[in-house]
Amino acid sequence: MAGYILKRGVSALLVVLVTLLLSFAMFFLAPKDPIGAICGPRCTPERAAEISQSLHLDDPVTLQFAQYVKGIVAGHTITSGGATVDCPAPCLGYSFRLGQPVTKLLMQAMPITVSIVVGAAVVYLTIGILSGILAARRRGTSFDKSIVAGTLGLSSVPYFIVALLVVLYTAGTFLPPSQYSPFLDGPLSWASGLTAAWLTLGVVNAAAYARYSRASMIEALGEDYIRTARAKGISERRVVYRHGLRSALTPVATIFGLDLAGQLTGALFTERIFGLPGLGVVTLEAFKTDDLPVMMGGILLGSVLLVTLNLMVDILYTFLDPRVRLG
């Protein structure tokens, strides 16, 4: 078990390292001009040279990479235009455009994204799994058919259209206006500002979860061991909610782990449409303004989140399914 986790941990670390290398390579290979981005259109050669020097762009590539990695591990100081900025570990570089260390920018955006994604997850897991299970138990009835049709309909509309419609018609009327205030400043205003985003992202994703859980439950209830459970004479409720649900939720939990990772790094539409400046918006802004350090930081953070959640899913799976425990 410990060996399995160690093995998975090492391979996760390798993936992060490869991403780090690739995102660093982007700095050189991408059709971007980091100096121009900082210096602006009317750049004097002197200013360009100064920026190039302060960014260590004249150093050998390997040395630059070493500096970058050292910054992540131990932090370093950055000089720009005579001023010195201290960038403590994990230092992902400095956004000259925004005049802030990248780490600080990302850490400001992170709680917003996490708040959106976790709150929405509560909504879609509850609605999705409940309706999926009820549909599976009433398979073929009009309830089941309306769930199937409803989820299909909801999934067929592009998400951003749904989100835009919600903002247009509900925000500020029967849903509180969308805004972010930190949880610690008051849970109530935190929750009310996020309600519109939670419900939108939650209900749309609930459609997918209703379908997963319905299919998974139908499959589980057709298994031989469900017949065995019935043959024991235990109550039907126990058959469904203990024996059936236990099997049905295992694949759903796996999908959830991966979805969560995807949403943390890509809740872009939600953040943008509801005006919540999370990780997606920050990274997107960086791409629009050629802010390479922020782009690299966003990509790296995304990959760490993705890999970590994947690892957690794998470890969780060994607890959910005893058959993989020895593998």
Partner 1 sequence: MREPYLVVSDLKVSFPTADGVVTAVQGLSYSVPLGRTLAIVGESGSGKSVSSLALMGLHDPKRTAISGSIQIGGDEIVGMSQRKLRRHRGASTAMIFQDPLSSLHPFFTIGDQIGEAYRAHSGARKRAARKRAAEMLARVGIPNPAARLDDYPHQFSGGMRQRVMIAMALVNDPKLLIADEPTTALDVTVQAQILDLIADLQQEFGSAVVFITHDLGVVAEIADDVLVMYAGRAVEYGSTEQILARPLHPYAWGLLESIPALSGEPAPLHPIPGLPPSLLDMPPGCSFSPRCEFRDRVPDDLCRRELPLLAARTAEDARLSRCHLPDPDVRFHLEILPRLP
Footprint of partner 1 (CB under 8 A): 223-225, 227-236, 243, 246-247, 250, 320-323
CB atoms within 10 A of CB 60: 9
Least separation, in Å, of the C-beta of 326 and partner 1?
8
Q: What stretches of the chain adopt beta strand conformation (E)?
A: 75-80, 83-88, 94-95, 100-101
- The alpha carbons of the chain give a radius of gyration, in whole angstroms, of 24
Measured from the CB atom, the residue of 95 and 247 that comes closer to partner 1 is 247
CB atoms within 10 A of CB 107: 12
Measured from the CB atom, the residue of 121 and 252 that comes closer to partner 1 is 252
Least separation, in Å, of the C-beta of 85 and partner 1?
54
Please give the Cα distance from 82 to 102 (Å, whole number): 20
Q: Which H or E run contains 321?
A: none
What proportions of the chain, in percent to the nearest 5, are helix, strand and coil? Answer: 75, 5, 20
Please give the Cα distance from 296 to 283 (Å, whole number): 9
Least separation, in Å, of the C-beta of 199 and partner 1?
33
Measured from the CB atom, the residue of 70 and 238 that comes closer to partner 1 is 238
Least separation, in Å, of the C-beta of 236 and partner 1?
7
Least separation, in Å, of the C-beta of 3 and partner 1?
19
Least separation, in Å, of the C-beta of 22 and partner 1?
39
What residues contact 286, with CB distance under 8 A and at least 6 apart? 95, 292, 294, 295, 298
Measured from the CB atom, the residue of 98 and 320 that comes closer to partner 1 is 320
Measured from the CB atom, the residue of 50 and 321 that comes closer to partner 1 is 321
Least separation, in Å, of the C-beta of 217 and partner 1?
15
Token pair in block for residue 55 = 């960014």
94-95 vs 100-101, strand pairing mode: antiparallel
Please give the Cα distance from 114 to 91 (Å, whole number): 21
Token pair in block for residue 29 = 């290979």
Measured from the CB atom, the residue of 50 and 223 that comes closer to partner 1 is 223
Measured from the CB atom, the residue of 70 and 242 that comes closer to partner 1 is 242
